[in-house]
Structure 1
């Protein structure tokens, strides 16, 4: 009697930062000013052409980048919208669609912990997991997504100070 093969679990990419603002302001700033602080160079579908990011603030809304010629590239769709505490969106910028959750946790009247969890890596092959992404270094397997989310959260944190 042989056992069925078991797919290896791919741990989510998790990162966090602290923002010295209240939770409502932090959440609102994240989604309304994303085009101002998101590091489009290098974290976009086309760093040479990308000029803005738009976040449609409701379940079913899209998150997308705009290029200099009015082309739009969808990053994902909002699947859960719970301001000012969290949102979840699909992430289409990976070889197979994954999911990103952002949580905003109040730690005091003027301090918020922003946490990201990028999950769903099980849907990808080893080759997909090794594919380069916006940051060089081997995609998920090489830690590029981990470094990318660190860069993104640092950029956001700097924009709020």
Structure 2
């Protein structure tokens, strides 16, 4: 490991969802456009009308705007429903990687964890500008952002059952 790698550890967040693993995973990938907080966590924000997961290795994850424009969020690198997936994350200035894991804790209880890694690829300037929230990577904005996103996922899962 280089000193740069040690200075830029992955962003990790997790939440517990009162929903079974299959429903939780399905809610994440099939209905992401309904619950994901596109404002501020997208490229088009108020223009976003849908977010699509092409559910396979090599598939795209992208947002569609009100005028039909599509903007990529990433490409699926690993696909293992309902236990998780890994994708590139193209919303940062230089591509990073996001891994979501889903672990059944009980019949209607699932732990969802995210690891957002690859920060060593970004310059210091890119790190400051790489998040929708103020503070960038070093100010903890990504950790706050992922916590908010996972909270919205939990609300979507628990509200649907």
Task: Report the TM-score range of the alignment, normalised by the length of the smaller protein.
Answer: over 0.9
2:147 matched residue in structure 1: 150
User: How far did 1:8 drift?
Assistant: 4.0
Structure 2 unaligned residues grouped into runs of 5+: none
1:66 matched residue in structure 2: 64
**TM-score, normalised relative to structure 2:** 0.93
Contact 1:15 1:117 in 2 (8 A): yes
Contact 2:92 2:130 in 1 (8 A): no
Distance in 2, matches of 1:46 and 1:68, equals 9
2:122 matched residue in structure 1: 124
**SS at the partner of 1:30?**
helix
May I ask how many residue pairs the two structures share in their alignment?
156
**TM-score, normalised relative to structure 1:** 0.93
After superposition, give the CA deviation of every residue in 1:101-148 in whole Å (9 maximum; x if it has no partner): 00000001110000000000011111111115222x221112111111
Contact 1:40 1:51 in 2 (8 A): no
Distance in 2, matches of 1:118 and 1:132, equals 12
2:40 matched residue in structure 1: 42
Bigger proportion of residues as helix? 2
**SS at the partner of 1:31?**
helix
Structure 1 unaligned residues grouped into runs of 5+: none
Q: Which has the larger radius of gyration?
A: 1
1:97 matched residue in structure 2: 95
Distance in 2, matches of 1:86 and 1:100, equals 11
1:140 matched residue in structure 2: 137
User: How far did 1:48 drift?
Assistant: 2.6
Q: CA RMSD in A?
A: 1.2
